[in-house]
């Protein structure tokens, strides 16, 4: 069983988005930490390490550390601004 850790930038992004999208992203990240990513819209990033999780028009960028699946959420926000 893993843990989810958020950077300050990710927390700020989650606070700015609508509550239902933020809740969906948080629950999906918890599922990833447990090892259940079935049915989630996840893709590996191109050109750098990490993955992105999609919920509607919002994204979360995260990395997985270690064998216990510790999820480090780097950023969260609207689709157009997240990759910059």
Query: How far apart are alpha carbons 3 and 28 in whole angstroms?
Result: 12
pLDDT tens, residue by residue, 5-59: 999 999 998 999 999 999 999 999 999 998 888 999 999 999 888 899 998 888 9
Residues 6 or more apart whose CB falls under 8 angstroms from that of 33 comprise 1, 2, 3, 4, 69, 70, 71
| pTM of this structure | 0.86
Q: Measuring CA to CA, which residue among 64, 58, 81, 56 is closest to residue 29?
A: 64
Both structure tokens of 48: 């750098």
Angle, nearest 10°, between helix axes 19-34 and 8-16?
140
pLDDT value for 84: 66
Integer-rounded Cα radius of gyration of the chain = 12
Both structure tokens of 8: 């300050």
pLDDT value for 67: 72
User: Which domains occur in the chain, in start order?
Assistant: 4-78 (3.30.2310.20)
């Amino acid at each position: 069983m893993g843990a989810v850790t958020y950077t300050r930038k990710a927390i700020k992004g989650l606070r700015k988005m609508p509550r239902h999208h933020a809740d969906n992203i948080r629950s999906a990240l918890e599922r990833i930490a447990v090892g259940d990513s079935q049915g989630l819209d996840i893709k590996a990033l191109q050109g750098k390490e990490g993955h992105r999780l999609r919920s509607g028009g919002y994204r979360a960028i995260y990395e997985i550390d270690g064998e216990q699946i510790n999820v480090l959420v780097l950023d969260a926000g609207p689709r157009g601004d997240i990759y910059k």
